């Protein structure tokens, strides 16, 4: 029996379209598919990319993203959309799965040709999914992987200066998600999806346009500055609030406010920081007066540390206060809005499109995937689709129409994560909560309701003395911590972080001189009291590494706090520090260096102008983590 | 998996067999967790063993609590119980019986009637089998002592088009608001007292105010063969099992509704269990009825206006019902399922049922999770602002507004596909595509599979004609007005 004729032209048809069940020939199908993608891209209720805007294609090397990248670059050319397209990939570190797909992706990038940025989990978070997997067990590892991947994607897009992220989610994915969320009873997610699609359309467009404006401003070298100034303001406010809570704090605690005031200025003018840096130094020196002695005598330091830790009520009161008064330290930073131009395309048609055009893509399956709950709804969807192809679209329609009402507190703008500053629904963003819980060796808890409590340190019973801690510094950390046996000191270490937290304001400004230009480095501000108003990533570590690799010199003015691997703003991971130093970076630190775990140097390359405080337990693990000496040129 | 992850920590946890309670060292049966005395007869949930007596109490209490909590059934109201002969609806009828026979203070105070829809024609039963089932059902119906009605599915062919319009809502009794319910209760008690004073010999409870004889003189006679053939023709023209299932549900609902309206019942009780509700939720989600899940499965369903559908059994799991029926010898009648054609894909209903019950084995909280998710939905989107905004078939408000064109594409009918040369499509004023604007998203999908218009049940066609016509008229008057203005 000959195939029926194409419904658009006299040629014999090659397929029946999923959406209309009409016969199409190859040519007409390809044309229709592209036209629909364009309609979906330009008809998105949440906003559309304008000419000249940067669009990051979230690419994995799989069929969806490959087809998306191809179609978008083709549409961009044919319809002169004027988009700045680039590929953005995340390397989660899954052996046997990610490498081949990245290889495929590099070929795609070469063929199109589009620039490609690969962001690595290991680099951003200091751990890979393969490492975290065993600790997390079955399905949880896919949750972690997903959460971190989204975060990595956001950061990558920010680094690229993209205004939009487009993802290759197809109609099947959308339907599957609806089914899965319904099966799991995830009302919050169902509601979010429904509201995004219908009710709150106006709101979202407004928000996204704002976002895009913000991102526009933030592109290029401005990025750090805008965010910094905003963040500083917020931090100051947070500090005031901190003081206002009535916790009587003395000198060290007031410190953070001062450098912050200063820091907003130097940001405006890159030449100034050197002059200014002497000023903020005053604060450290003041602070040093307390700590200089202990440095000469480690036992005294110990006593001192104990002392400040022995005032648990002081530090303790703060975090608790914070939980009572809703934190919302600052508004969430601009989020790169996401689009799904393939949301109406059936998976089957995407495969056919790739087949007809001879696109090659990676199709390996992640070896963690069989553990994901998603497998169940996926199998069901395949059956449903077989009996009625329109079910895929119907499920998506249902998902958009679910009458779940407005979310509690829907009117408020999303808050920022207390640790990394990105958008979060609670005190901490999901990524930070997961990572923190993972660090504590209680990964399962991270997925439950107590996740955030564990992460913020409100979970006192378990913490023991560590309960006094703000839970602030044990941020992204090296993968070596995961499930490692030698972690006995973990609680201890973390417990004392509260001390570092409360003891002063720390600021790092990186000045990059190598390339001739001046780059505002990771300029962050931190203050005591358990995580009020973290400033956020001001510069992604990936970029710092690249800059340093290019020969930049990182000048750090202010106090560097290296507590369990976090430099200054708690943002630069241990891995980064080590990487920088081993790459031959010269870290010039003009302020105090506090080394909690001995995270800094693997070579004599840290040049510290100020005193270096090495916590006693850091010396203990010296044999494990110290491979070199810290050269001290300051008043150590 | 395990060899990759190295330690197998995660996989080990997965591969672990489902947690089982250790059997007690001595094999004495466990005692009831409620009274602590009786021997446990069944375990309702994990770790909750109940003895027979306590289980019965628990079961009865659940039913009364459901009605008492929702306060939608007023005393003295006529309530039609939809009985299919299956386990859930049979248990429901037994609950009503027990409730009515209780001592005065706690007695249920509505007036029940039963309705049974006989569907043997589409369930591939021979006339003899149908007679047999019918006779069996009749004995059960008569045994309840309530007035009852038997409807044959064939009667759907004679339904009036008005069944597709919501009836006038009774304003005084509509809301489940406290005062009006209280007033109704008070006035009912007053009335009862007066009756008692007037006539000391009060007739049996439940039968006092009924306006028809107990058990109408009904001889089990099947409808004409011609009608059966006609009905089968309609069902056979339906292209998919999914649409056939939907059509059967639609016809059944309409028949029950018609019976309630003509006999003055203001409430219809159906026996959907928690398990059934969960299946229906997921099925309707897959059918595209996301907006209407709350009315489709909720405790009350007010879309028909004058007659409210109530689902009092939705708190019971299928397991509870099965044990109740088993322990207390509730008779049920089992009928074969809806026929399917050879080489036909299973219906969405069937797939979802199989999937959910299968998943329930591995994840025992699946059904209750789905059920609870459904509880959080609001019935608001189902309210239609006007006739033109109401779906022809399901009577819910259209859920098309604001939807992207691309998303609606699968619901459209492509007329140009049909061979134009024939002339027959030109001639017929009725076009399938003309029905589409009258329907909601999911009814569009179902309607597309219902087969040619000629095999649609007559009342649907008549109502659709009227709606299309009135829409046309409205457009014309608007055009005229505009013309006269210019």
pLDDT at residue A552, rounded to an integer: 58
Q: Is pLDDT of B214 > 90? A: no
Residue A467 pLDDT exceeds 90? no
> In this prediction, what percent of chain A has a pLDDT beyond 90?
9
Q: Which residue of B has its CA nearest to A342?
A: B406
Confidence band, pLDDT 50/70/90 cuts, at residue B28: low
Domain ranges of chain B: 49-170+219-402+433-485
pLDDT above 90 for B370: yes
What count of Cα atoms within 13 Å lies in the side-chain half-sphere of residue A247? 26
Q: Model pTM? A: 0.68
Confidence of residue A492 (pLDDT cuts 50, 70, 90): very low
Q: Do B373 and A187 touch (CB under 8 A)?
A: yes
Position with higher pLDDT, B137 vs B36: B137
pLDDT band at A31 (very low <50, low <70, confident <90, very high): very high
Q: How far apart are CA B91 and CA B89, in angstroms?
A: 5
Question: Looking at chain A, which residue has its C-alpha nearest residue B443?
Answer: A394
pLDDT for res A475? 34
Instruction: Say yes or no: A190 contacts chain B, CB-CB below 8 A.
Output: yes
Size of interface A-B (CB pairs under 8 A): 174
Contact (Cβ atoms closer than 8 angstroms) between residue A203 and residue A502 = no
Res. B180: pLDDT tops 80? no
Look at residue A413 in the predicted model and tell me its pLDDT: 61
Lowest mean per-residue pLDDT among A352-366, A380-394, A603-617, B393-407: A603-617
Query: Which residues of chain A does B412 touch, with a Cβ-Cβ cutoff of 8 Å?
Result: 20
Task: Enumerate residues 8 to 37 of chain B having a beta carbon within 8 A of any beta carbon in chain A.
Answer: 8-11, 13-14
| Residues B4, A137: C-beta atoms closer than 8 Å | no
Nearest to A136 among B4, B10, B294 (CB): B10
Report chain A's C-alpha Rg in angstroms: 26
- Examine the pLDDT at A431 and tell me if it is beyond 80: no
Residues B345, A387: C-beta atoms closer than 8 Å: yes
Within 8 A of B289 by CB-CB distance, chain A residues are: 398
Q: Which residues of B touch A140 (CB under 8 A)?
A: 10
Q: Say which residue, A431 or B277, is predicted with more confidence.
A: B277
Average pLDDT of the residues in B118-127? 90
Q: What is the chain B residue with the closest CA to A140?
A: B10
Q: Which residue has the higher pLDDT, B68 or A243?
A: B68
**pLDDT of B322 over the 70 cut:** yes
Q: Does B353 touch chain A (CB under 8 A)?
A: no
Question: Chain A: residue nearest B419 by CA?
Answer: A7
Q: Which residues of A touch B369 (CB under 8 A)?
A: 183-185
pLDDT attached to residue A232: 34
Q: With 90 as the cut, is the pLDDT of residue B414 above it?
A: no
Cβ–Cβ below 8 Å for B406 and A391:
no
Residue of A183, A392, A441, A482 best to disrupt the B interface, most CBs of B under 10 A: A183
List chain A residues with CB under 8 Å of B405: 39, 43
Which residue in A has a C-alpha nearest to residue B412's C-alpha? Answer: A20
What phi and psi, each to the nearest 5 degrees, are found at residue A372? -80, 145
Q: Does B348 touch chain A (CB under 8 A)?
A: yes
- Rg of the Cα atoms in chain B: 26
For the cut 70, the answer to whether the pLDDT of residue A529 exceeds it is no
User: What is the tens place of the pLDDT at every residue in B132-155?
Assistant: 999 999 999 999 999 999 999 999
| Partner-chain contact B414 A130, CB within 8 Å | no
Q: Please report the pLDDT score of residue A153 as a whole number.
A: 87
Residue B71 has pLDDT above 80, yes or no: yes
Calpha distance A562→A576 (Å, rounded): 12
How far is CA A436 from each of CA A36, A443, A493, rounded to the nearest angstrom? 43, 8, 14
Q: What confidence category does residue B198 fall into, taking pLDDT thresholds of 50, 70 and 90?
A: low
Q: What would the pLDDT profile of A295-347 be if each residue is shown by its tens digit?
A: 333 333 333 333 333 333 333 333 333 333 333 445 555 678 888 899 889 88
Q: What is the mean pLDDT of residues A469-473?
A: 33
Chain A residues near residue B407 by CB distance under 8 angstroms: 344, 393, 396-397, 400
pLDDT at B205 over 50: no
CB contacts under 8 A, A 511-570 vs B, are none
Tell me which residue of A71, A52, A44, A362 sits closest to A208, measured CA to CA. A44
Determine the pLDDT at residue A421.
67
Cis upstream peptide for A113 (omega within 30°): yes
Q: What is the mean pLDDT of chain A?
A: 60
Q: What percentage of residues in chain A have a pLDDT greater than 70?
A: 41
Homologous superfamily (CATH) of A44-200+331-403 is HUPs (3.40.50.620)
Tokens representing residue B307 in the block = 């007659």
Nearest CA distance, A548 vs chain B (angstrom): 34
Q: Can you tell me which residue has the tokens 């059966």? A: B228
Per-residue pLDDT band at B25 (split at 50, 70, 90): low
Q: What is the pLDDT of residue B447?
A: 93
pLDDT at A99: 82
What sign has the CA pseudo-torsion B415, B421, B425, B427?
positive
Ranges of each domain in chain A: 44-200+331-403, 415-457
A201 in contact with B, Cβ within 8 Å:
yes
pLDDT of residue B237: 92
- A138–B4 C-beta distance less than 8 A: no
Mean predicted confidence (pLDDT) in A185-196? 83
- Using a CB–CB cutoff of 8 Å, tell me whether A448 touches chain B: no
| A104 and A92 Cβ atoms separated by less than 8 Å | no
Which of B464, B419, B299 minimizes the C-alpha distance to B371? B299
The alpha-carbon gap from B296 to the nearest alpha carbon of chain A, in Å, equals 13
Interface test with A, best of B288, B378, B418 (most A CBs within 10 A): B288
Q: What pLDDT was estimated at residue B104? A: 61
Closest chain B C-alpha to A576 CA, distance in angstroms: 26
pLDDT at position B391 is 92
Homologous superfamily (CATH) of B49-170+219-402+433-485 is: HUPs (3.40.50.620)
Q: How does strand A525-526 pair with strand A506-507?
A: antiparallel
Q: How far apart are CA B179 and CA A91, in angstroms?
A: 63
Shortest Cα–Cα distance, B43 to chain A (Å)? 25
Distance from chain centroid for Cα A424: 11
Confidence at residue A68, expressed as pLDDT on a 0 to 100 scale: 93
Kindly determine whether residue B5 and residue A130, on different chains, have CB atoms separated by under 8 Å.
yes
Measured between CB atoms, which of B6, B366, B378 is closest to A183? B366
SS3 A435: helix
Q: What is the pLDDT of residue B133?
A: 92
Q: Is A478 a residue whose pLDDT tops 50?
A: no
pLDDT at position A583 is: 56
The string over A453-479, giving b where at least 16 C-beta atoms fall within 10 Å of a residue's C-beta and e elsewhere, is bbbbbbbbeebebbbbbbbbbbbbbbb
User: What pLDDT score was predicted for residue B415?
Assistant: 59
> Higher-confidence residue: A554 or B19?
A554
CB contact under 8 A, B412 and A20: yes
Closest alpha carbon within chain B to A200 = B402
Backbone angles phi, psi at B207, to 5 degrees: -110, 0
**pLDDT tens, position by position, A498-520:** 333 333 333 333 333 333 333 33
Q: Tell me if A388 and B240 make a contact (CB, 8 A cut-off).
A: yes
Of the residues A401, A405, A406, A441, the best mutation for testing chain B's interface (the one with the most B CB atoms within 10 Å of its CB) is: A401
pLDDT reading at B274 higher than 90: yes
- The pLDDT > 90 percentage for chain B reads 48
Chain A residues lying within 8 Å of B11, measured CB to CB: 137-138, 371
Helices (H), ranges, B330-457: 348-362, 366-375, 405-408, 424-427, 432-435, 441-448
Taking only residues 368 to 387 of chain B, the set having a beta carbon closer than 8 angstroms to any beta carbon of chain A reads 369-370, 372-373, 376-381
Which of A39, A130, A140 is nearest residue B406 as measured by Cβ atoms?
A: A39
Q: How many CB atoms lie within 10 A of CB B135?
A: 10
Q: What is the mean pLDDT of residues A77-98?
A: 85
Average pLDDT over residues B274-281: 95
Q: Which of B163, B157, B299, B296 is closest to B228 using CA atoms?
A: B157
Which residues between 375 and 394 in chain A have a beta carbon less than 8 angstroms from any beta carbon of chain B? 376, 380, 383-384, 386-391, 393-394
Is it the case that residue B384 has pLDDT exceeding 90? no
In this complex, do A22 and B414 lie within 8 Å of one another by their Cβ atoms? yes
Residue of B nearest to A198 (CA): B402
In sequence order, what are the residues at sequence separation of 6 or more whose Cβ sits closer than 8 angstroms to the Cβ of residue A67? A168, A342, A350, A353, A354, A359, A361
- Whether residue A274 has pLDDT greater than 70: no
- Of the candidates A185, A389, A401, the beta carbon closest to that of B399 is on A401
| Higher-scoring residue by pLDDT: B55, A161 | B55
Residue A226 or B200, more confident: B200
Q: Count CB-CB contacts under 10 A for residue A48.
A: 17
Helix (H) or strand (E) holding A11: none
Is it the case that residue B468 has pLDDT exceeding 50? Answer: yes
């Amino acid at each position: 029996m000959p195939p029926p004729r194409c419904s658009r032209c006299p040629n014999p048809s090659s397929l029946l379209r999923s959406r209309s069940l009409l016969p199409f020939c190859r040519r007409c199908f390809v044309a229709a598919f592209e036209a629909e993608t364009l309609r979906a891209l330009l008809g998105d209720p949440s906003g559309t990319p304008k000419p000249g805007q940067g669009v990051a294609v979230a690419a994995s090397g799989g069929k969806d993203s490959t087809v998306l990248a191809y179609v978008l670059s083709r549409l961009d050319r044919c319809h002169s959309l004027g988009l700045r397209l680039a590929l953005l990939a995340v390397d989660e570190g899954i052996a046997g799965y990610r490498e081949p797909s990245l290889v495929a992706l590099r070929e795609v990038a070469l063929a199109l040709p589009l620039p490609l940025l690969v962001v690595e989990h290991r680099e951003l978070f200091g751990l890979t999914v393969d490492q975290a997997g065993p600790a997390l067990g079955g399905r949880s590892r896919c949750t972690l992987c997903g959460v971190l991947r989204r975060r990595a994607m956001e950061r990558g897009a920010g680094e690229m200066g993209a205004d939009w992220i487009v993802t290759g989610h197809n109609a099947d994915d959308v339907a599957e998600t609806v089914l899965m969320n319904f099966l799991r009873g995830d009302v919050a997610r169902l509601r979010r999806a429904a509201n995004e699609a219908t009710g709150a359309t106006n709101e979202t467009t407004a928000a996204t346009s704002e976002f895009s404006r913000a991102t526009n401003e933030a592109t290029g070298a401005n990025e750090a500055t805008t965010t910094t100034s905003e963040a500083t303001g917020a931090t100051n406010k947070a500090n005031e609030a901190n003081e206002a809570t009535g916790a009587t704090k003395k000198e060290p605690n007031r410190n953070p406010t001062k450098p912050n005031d200063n820091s907003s200025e130097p940001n405006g003018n890159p030449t100034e920081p050197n002059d200014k840096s002497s000023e903020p130094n005053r604060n450290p020196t003041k602070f040093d007066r307390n700590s200089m002695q202990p440095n000469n005598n480690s036992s005294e330091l110990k006593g001192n540390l104990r002392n400040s830790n022995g005032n648990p009520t002081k530090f303790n009161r703060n975090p608790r206060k914070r939980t009572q008064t809703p934190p919302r330290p600052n508004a969430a930073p601009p989020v790169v809005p996401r689009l799904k131009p393939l949301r109406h395309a059936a998976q089957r048609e995407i495969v056919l499109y790739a087949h007809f055009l001879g696109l090659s893509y990676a199709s390996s399956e992640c070896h963690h995937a069989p553990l994901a709950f998603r497998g169940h709804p996926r199998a069901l969807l395949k059956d449903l689709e077989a009996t009625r192809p329109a079910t895929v679209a119907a499920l998506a329609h249902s998902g958009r129409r679910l009458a779940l009402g407005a979310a509690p507190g829907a009117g408020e703008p999303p808050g920022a994560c207390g640790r990394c500053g990105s958008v979060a629904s609670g005190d901490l963003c999901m990524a930070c909560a997961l990572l923190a819980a993972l660090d504590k060796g209680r990964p399962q808890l991270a997925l439950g309701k107590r996740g955030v409590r564990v992460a913020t340190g409100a979970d006192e019973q378990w913490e023991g003395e560590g309960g006094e801690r703000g839970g602030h510094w044990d941020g992204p950390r090296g993968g070596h911590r995961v499930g490692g046996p030698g972690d006995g000191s973990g609680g201890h270490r973390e417990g004392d972080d509260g001390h570092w937290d409360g003891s002063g304001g720390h600021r790092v400004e990186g000045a990059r001189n190598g390339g001739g230009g001046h780059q505002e480095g990771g300029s962050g501000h931190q203050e005591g009291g358990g995580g009020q108003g973290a400033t956020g990533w001001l510069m992604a570590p990936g970029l710092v590494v690249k800059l340093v690799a290019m020969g930049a010199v990182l000048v750090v003015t202010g106090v560097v706090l290296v507590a369990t691997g976090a430099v200054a703003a708690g943002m630069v991971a241990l891995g980064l520090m080590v990487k920088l130093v081993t790459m031959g970076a010269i870290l010039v630190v003009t302020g105090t260096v506090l080394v909690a775990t001995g995270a800094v140097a693997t070579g004599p390359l840290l040049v510290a102008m100020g005193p270096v405080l090495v916590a006693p337990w850091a010396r203990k693990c010296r044999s494990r983590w110290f491979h070199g000496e810290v050269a001290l040129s300051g008043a150590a | 998996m395990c060899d990759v992850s190295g330690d197998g920590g995660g996989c080990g946890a997965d591969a672990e067999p489902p947690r089982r309670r250790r059997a007690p060292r001595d094999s004495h049966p466990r005692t009831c967790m409620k009274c602590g005395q009786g021997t446990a007869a069944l375990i309702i949930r994990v770790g909750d063993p109940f003895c027979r007596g306590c289980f019965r109490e628990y079961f009865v209490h659940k039913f009364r609590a459901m009605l008492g909590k929702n306060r939608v059934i007023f005393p003295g109201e006529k309530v039609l119980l939809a009985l299919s002969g299956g386990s859930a609806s049979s248990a429901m009828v037994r609950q009503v019986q027990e409730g009515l026979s209780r001592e005065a203070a706690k007695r249920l105070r509505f007036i029940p009637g039963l309705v049974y829809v006989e569907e043997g024609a589409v369930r591939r039963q021979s006339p003899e089998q149908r007679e047999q089932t019918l006779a069996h059902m009749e004995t059960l119906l008569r045994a309840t002592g309530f007035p009852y009605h038997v409807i044959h599915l064939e009667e759907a062919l004679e339904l009036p088009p008005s069944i597709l319009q919501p009836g006038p809502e009774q304003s005084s009794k509509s809301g489940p608001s406290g005062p009006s319910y209280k007033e109704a209760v008070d006035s009912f008690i007053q009335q009862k007292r007066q009756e008692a004073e007037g006539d000391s010999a009060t007739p049996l409870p439940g039968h006092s105010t009924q306006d028809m004889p107990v058990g109408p003189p009904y001889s089990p006679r099947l409808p004409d063969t011609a009608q059966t053939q006609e009905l089968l023709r309609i069902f056979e023209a339906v292209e998919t099992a999914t649409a056939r299932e939907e059509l059967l549900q639609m016809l059944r609902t309409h028949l029950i509704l018609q019976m309630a309206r003509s006999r003055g019942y203001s409430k219809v009780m159906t026996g959907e269990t928690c398990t059934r509700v969960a299946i229906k939720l997921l099925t309707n989600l897959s059918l595209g009825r996301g907006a209407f899940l709350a009315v489709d499965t909720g405790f009350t369903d007010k879309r028909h206006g004058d007659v409210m559908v109530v689902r009092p059994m939705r708190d019971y799991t299928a397991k509870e019902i099965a044990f109740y029926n088993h322990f207390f010898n509730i008779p049920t009648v089992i009928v074969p399922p809806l026929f399917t054609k050879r080489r036909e894909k299973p219906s969405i209903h069937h797939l979802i049922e199989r999937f959910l019950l299968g998943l329930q084995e591995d994840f025992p909280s699946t059904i209750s999770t789905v059920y609870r998710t459904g509880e959080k939905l609001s019935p608001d989107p189902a309210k239609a602002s006007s006739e033109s905004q109401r779906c022809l078939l399901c009577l819910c408000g259209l859920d098309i507004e604001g939807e992207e064109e691309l998303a609606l594409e699968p619901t459209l009918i492509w007329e140009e596909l049909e061979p134009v040369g024939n002339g027959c499509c030109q001639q017929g004023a009725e076009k399938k595509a003309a029905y589409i604007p009258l329907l909601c998203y999911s009814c569009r999908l179902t309607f597309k599979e219902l087969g040619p218009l000629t095999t649609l049940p007559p009342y649907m066609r008549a109502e659709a004609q009227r709606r299309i016509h009135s829409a046309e008229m409205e457009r014309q008057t608007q055009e005229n007005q505009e013309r006269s203005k210019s």
